[in-house]
Structure 1
């Protein structure tokens, strides 16, 4: 009877304990699985951001280079005479040297029709010279005047690479295409051996980069006849065999998971992905869910152990009330059981702690890599700015130095003729120009100056007068005339006098270059005030600005002049100077012929002081 009563007293606590254990297994398991899945997804997102940043940096590093190569004189001369073997040899050596400096895979030149006429690998058995690539989308995009981007397996080299292409413009026509190919194996190799599987797919869903080589050229989407036809037409993967990756998608734990079968084994993955619209790629990071599920199971087991310990403690209390002897035996047994379970729990906790330490180390390594990447980007920005300032300083000194040389030569002649007064005047002008060059060197900050530097009132008449002094030698050399019309009353504008003088010197000098050798060599500079603005126009009577280059005329390093006659920075610097003044600089063709540059700046009441340069 006593045993029956004790049994009934233990029935309800036992049922409650069983219900609680079931709740831990079902609900607790779900919550733990979801939490560890969220953690795996967060780590996957971090890995994804790093992978996308690495790929984006690789693309950004090379995307502008084909256009710069297309502007090279040797390339343009070859396309003007594509059958000239001597020009081909010069272009081949140039492309080979550039390819070595850029550490790219290959650089080659294609003429209209798709035939390759020059390549950096011209002296190798696998040379591209003579091959026809008219079927490649990068050729088709560039020959239409656009910029080409394409990933493919090389037909000759059988090496994967990313292709950048740009048109070569001669006059107003596309005379050919420059193509630059870069390998991606180095980035791909850095993915292997990690906790995640990384893949990159093309617009058709075909894997062309992967941390698992066996997945290459597999499709994560069902292959259709249309997809195969498009891929075959562009020969994106040459003769590689395309196949479907044995992947299935399903919903579990409130999220979409992937199951991939490989060599008789099926692995479950959590996927995070991000598109790269510029390249047309999608980057996938696959996290094996086995680790998350094992951690979830460990958490459930620990919770059940804790519940079991609590239940055991309660049973001991009940047994104390029933029998003292049984209580002592149960206490001894429970102590032994507790020690064993504590040892197991300690071992489990040590294993979890080891895993956490590994994850912390991985995260620190990832953060260190990110900081290194940021430092590299900052250093690249500093080098680019240094290049711009050095090239700009050289360009801005060319014109005053030429004037100094002219005055010095004239002074020597005048001294020989004992015309000392006129020679002294030339020496004075040289001193003035030297001071001006010193001022320019101190204050050439168009790309580095802080945007909050103050500007002040500047007399336009004085700036134009100084400009005429500097460009006088150039006008005389071109046999050109500069007529100035500043209106009936003095004009004062908000600007900096030295930098505004730089702008006018650049524009007037370009106008002199445009009219040199023409019947009509007039250049007209006019300024008028209207509605709080001062508009300055400079018109020449030359051939005007071709439509093909009108949109690029203010780009850095863009020049229509030959080698040694300009860096292509003058108009770009002028544009940024006027922008810093809060004004605008534009160009158009005059209705009666010639180019018309227009500068618009804010007007001021009086020129009491000049802005600090």
Structure 2
């Protein structure tokens, strides 16, 4: 049963891999073929466009007009023949010639050759009739005199009393066939009759893509597009169908390079009424897909074999354990007394181990308590040592303020006031350290939200002005009180404002919006910026320690993690919303607190 499951799994994996690989290979090959067809189309148009000027130039030439006005004048005809010959030597077209109004050729660039067009009547050609009717025309056909196919460009020659005739330039497209042949592609151009007129395979020329009815063959032959022999009505394509988002064809023939199964890509050329076809052999795609499928199936078989071996090993180990357990049971039944003594001894050993573990735990706890006690004493000493210079600094600042007031005030007043706030913050911090070092009963803290925001803005004012940030903030009235440590709240706000300034450093618009309001039994503080914002993938990690979106050397990734912990310890929350390229918004929510009767900590 296991072998059957493994075989089915291997077949499924191989089949899925085959289908996916084949579909992808067909898609990529189709895109490449479409790009090559577009390139071939541009090459074809460039060759044709290169000779578009010839019929117009001939129709305006004095020699050509005189030959058409005087078709019986040998001198005019010789001049026109010489002009067309020299012109073609420079242009490099197949042939260029002049036709009278009745369709007869009066002058040609090959007038001196055995296959001269002079005297031949081509009034039956559509490029002659269409040019007389429309002014100009183009047409692909097999040369009746030269037996060389070409693309004919014609231009009507107008006289004072009406049309004099038609100037024609024949383009030999053998150059583009040679270019295609050197590319190694299997390419063909099909005209409006679904007949191949140009191809890298000479045996495809003047054959329909698929065999056409006899009645239609007679109609096509009457057009005399394909020479005296007409078309070879043996279809190139035996069958064609759509599959896997592409078109495929079965080509008839005995040559392995141009027969069998191919992927068919088609590009329409509406300007000429043609279609440009590309054939890509299909077996190579199947071979690649089969190779990938075989590799995937072998990998699946190897994985299944590993799983089977592991399962057999697990069963073998389980069997050995079972035999060992039965052996122990038999020994236990035969030596019950010894077993009881062993159990008693194990119990005593377990009690001894538990006692030793409890003793080690107690010693570890005492050592940790001693460390914490030493840390508390050191912290109290640091707070005591710092508080004295802070108090002295406050006294000096008070003296400086009095002196400044006696002098009538000036620029030092705001500076002394700012230093007072910093000294007051240091005093509060040392007070908190002393309070933490003392063993006191826990009391509820009160923080004036407006004061905390104002202090945070004061301490970050230099950074905000340095970046050029406009601040939008209105102090809430009446005051809002939050049940939180005010120093901790200021620390969180300073971190959020500093992060906002960093985010807006390269932003075109730098606006910092801060608001505080009461929501039910809670206080909500909102800090929004117009900075770079954060990606959605980063939002789940912003409160993790050491995670930062700032460049290397500009952040440790600890600010938001510490802020999150401080708000959580205060019974509040901190969250964020951000849109990449539009800015970020942080929400700080704290429990509301009643204003205490004692002196506030703010």
TM score, norm. by length of structure 2: 0.50
**Structure number with bigger Rg:** 2
TM score, norm. by length of structure 1: 0.49
